[in-house]
Amino acid sequence: MHLPENIVYITDKLAENGYEAFVVGGCVRDYLLGQCPKDYDVTTSALPEQIIECFKGERLLTNGLKHGTVTVIKDDIPIEITTYRIDGDYKDHRHPEKVEFTSSLKEDLSRRDFTINAMAYSEKTGVVDYFGGQDDLKNGIIRAVGNPYKRFDEDALRILRALRFSSRFGFEIERNTSDAIHRLRYLLERISVERIQTELCGILLGNCYDVLYNYPDVICEIIPELRPSIGFLQYTKYHNRTVYRHTIKATAESDCDIISRLTMLLHDVGKPDSFYMEDGRGRFKGHALISRDISEKVLKRLKFSNKITEEVLFLIENHSIKMNDTDKYIKKAVVRYGEERFLKLIDIHIFDNLGKAEMCLWENDFFRSIAQHTREYLDSQPALTLKSLKVNGNDMMALGFSGADIGKALNFLMDAVIDEHCKNEKDKLIEYLKRNRKNVK
Ligand code: ATP
Ligand code: MG
């Protein structure tokens, strides 16, 4: 393992002073997987005061001292050095009551969550692997260190970490560990939403299909709103999957960014509520709006930023609009939604189809051609915007429009100009609006 210079400096310095020092955890795992570690953690037999003594005169952060962590800032890069420790009893299924230092590396490794995360390395000793981490890495397995029931009971966040690593590396979760995850999933109620949000994003931004498929119960612990989708048959030729299975297929097929993934995960959450039968087939009229409203609650509860929430809700609300491949439609759509949002909305339609029956897939060529034409249109001329219209919000208010209806009226007039029903002149526009007022929607 080739360690960066600043890490070698730190481990050498500790060794010169008579202490053991290893890099540990994620960096060893990533290195053995042939991936570039994103950071290096150092573990040592030196006690916190001894670490501080070793690095006298260097820039240090000591806010993690209680947990045995001293951070040395070397070439502007913070490096965490932590004393070998055993975690005491866990008081709230998350935080150990107290930490105890130990002189045994093995004890330190045994408190770590999964075998693939419980290896250490030093140039002198090579890889230290007491729990079969290398084999599990080779075989693609996530396995708790020790008894999984005990380990998840100590810290329930590990349940979501298991799912996250499984998704990230495409690894399977070992049987015993998996059983414990299912049985102890209720412990997640003790984990803060901030942590849950982070782990959920990690799960979604990987090879998430198998995790969503195999752990719907855990996912519904976080998002109970998805529960009615599970096993919900659709009774339409366009779907050969239940709502949940369609949802997770579309999610896994979507681009790997959080907006796409959240949108697809929640886009049909309102389907069960809107279901009815008509002429022998299932219908879901209005489900996009219901999905939007349910998703708003979910995203707020999970404390997603306003920016992400607004974007996702827009896409969910509009995920099943009818689209056309005509110049006029594209011009109107770009004015109405904005160019970026419109292109994203086209993508969302494509992802949605990828989760539907085979017979729907042809439609994706149609959506791709709309996207292509939209890009050509945007390249050939600056997109029309509502600003180019010769009337504005004040004119609409003067005509008695207020609130959201102002935007609707302006969009209505923009459409009329693009459709050549009306010239873009103030008097003409006002007159046209007065005549067609009842059609503003
Ligand atoms: P990532 O690449 O996502 O940072 P990582 O394995 O480095 O993965 P960290 O959260 O940075 O994960 O934690 C570093 C190490 O600390 C882990 O590899 C693991 O050994 C240990 N660890 C982290 N969180 C826990 C936990 N909740 N329970 C037990 N051990 C943990
Ligand atoms: Mg890490």
Q: pLDDT of 240-267, one tens digit each? A: 999 999 999 999 999 999 999 999 999 9
Mean per-residue pLDDT over the chain, rounded: 96
- Residues 423 and 258: their CA atoms lie apart, in Å, by 42
Q: Would you place residue 441 in the very low, low, confident or very high pLDDT band (cuts 50, 70, 90)? A: confident
- Residues 267 and 313: their CA atoms lie apart, in Å, by 9
Residue nearest to atom 7 of ligand 1 (CA): 26
Is any ligand 1 atom within 6 A of the Cβ of residue 108? no
333: which 2 tokens?
Answer: 């759509």
Whether this prediction's pTM lies above 0.75 is answered by yes
User: How far, in Å, from the CA of 158 to the mean position of ligand 2?
Assistant: 14
For residue 219, pLDDT over 80 is answered with: yes
Q: Would you place residue 406 in the very low, low, confident or very high pLDDT band (cuts 50, 70, 90)? A: very high
For residue 90, pLDDT over 80 is answered with: no
For residue 97, pLDDT over 80 is answered with: no
For residue 387, pLDDT over 90 is answered with: no
The mean pLDDT value for 192-217 works out to 98
Residue nearest to atom 16 of ligand 1 (CA): 25
Residue 381's pLDDT is: 82
Residues 6+ apart with CB under 8 A from 18: none
Q: Judge contact between 334 and 374, C-beta under 8 A.
A: yes
The mean pLDDT value for 286-296 works out to 98
Rg of the Cα trace of the chain?
28
User: How far, in Å, from the CA of 284 to the mean position of ligand 2?
Assistant: 44
* Nearest atom of ligand 1 to the alpha carbon of 164: 3
Q: Would you place residue 94 in the very low, low, confident or very high pLDDT band (cuts 50, 70, 90)? A: confident
* Nearest atom of ligand 1 to the alpha carbon of 168: 3
State the Cα angle at 330 between 327 and 332, rounded to 5°. Answer: 110
Q: Which of 133, 143, 44, 120 is nearest to 85 (CA)?
A: 44
195: which 2 tokens?
Answer: 């942590």
Residue with token string 């380990």: 151
Residue 161's pLDDT is: 98
Is any ligand 1 atom within 6 A of the Cβ of residue 154? no
The mean pLDDT value for 347-360 works out to 97
The full length of the chain comes to 441
Q: Lowest mean pLDDT of 82-91, 173-182, 303-312, 356-365, name the range.
A: 82-91
Residues 6+ apart with CB under 8 A from 30: 36, 37, 38
Is any ligand 1 atom within 6 A of the Cβ of residue 158? yes
Which ligand minimizes its atom distance to the CA of 26? 1
For residue 93, pLDDT over 80 is answered with: no
78: which 2 tokens?
Answer: 């913070």
